Amino acid sequence: MVKILMVEDSAFEREGIKNFLRKYNYIDVIEAVDGYEGVKKYKEQKPDLVLLDLKLPGMMNGFDVFREIRKINPSAKCIVVSINRSDDIIKKAMEMGINYYIDKPVTESKLIPVIKEVLGK
C-alpha cells in the first residue's frame, strides 16, 4: 500500500485532497499542518510520497521542509501543491529536485495522474 504524507495547513485543502486520494485507493494518508510536524512524521512514517504546500505556518516553508526531508532520504518523492505559481518559484522547485508542481485549486484530474506518474504506477 502506498503511504502519502500531506503537509498542508488548511484543513479544507487536506480534506479535499484526501477525498480525491480515497477514490483511487490511496488510503494511507498521514497529515501534518506545519513544516516541523511534516519533517517529524516523515522520519517516523517513511512515506512513499510527500504532497507539500510551500506556504506553511511557523518558521519552515515548504522549501525548508523539502531540504530536511532530502537529508533523511535523498531520493524522496515530492509533489508541491501550492497557490504560489510564479516561474521563479516553479524553477526553484524543479532545481531542488521536487518531482512535480501542481497549482491550487487542486482538482482530481490534476492530482491523480501526477501521483501515478511520480510513483511509477
Q: What is the pLDDT of residues 22-65, one digit of tens each?
A: 999 999 999 999 999 999 999 999 999 999 999 999 999 999 99
Domains located in the chain, CATH noted: 3-119 (3.40.50.2300)
Does the pTM surpass 0.75? The reply is yes
**Cell 506545519, located at residue:** 34
- Residue of 55, 59, 79 lying closest to 69 (CA atoms): 79
CA distance 87 to 79: 16
**Cell 485543502, located at residue:** 13
**Which pLDDT tens digit goes with each residue over 62-117?**
999 999 999 999 999 999 999 987 899 999 999 999 999 999 999 999 999 999 99
The three-class DSSP label of residue 39 is helix
CA distance 103 to 80: 8
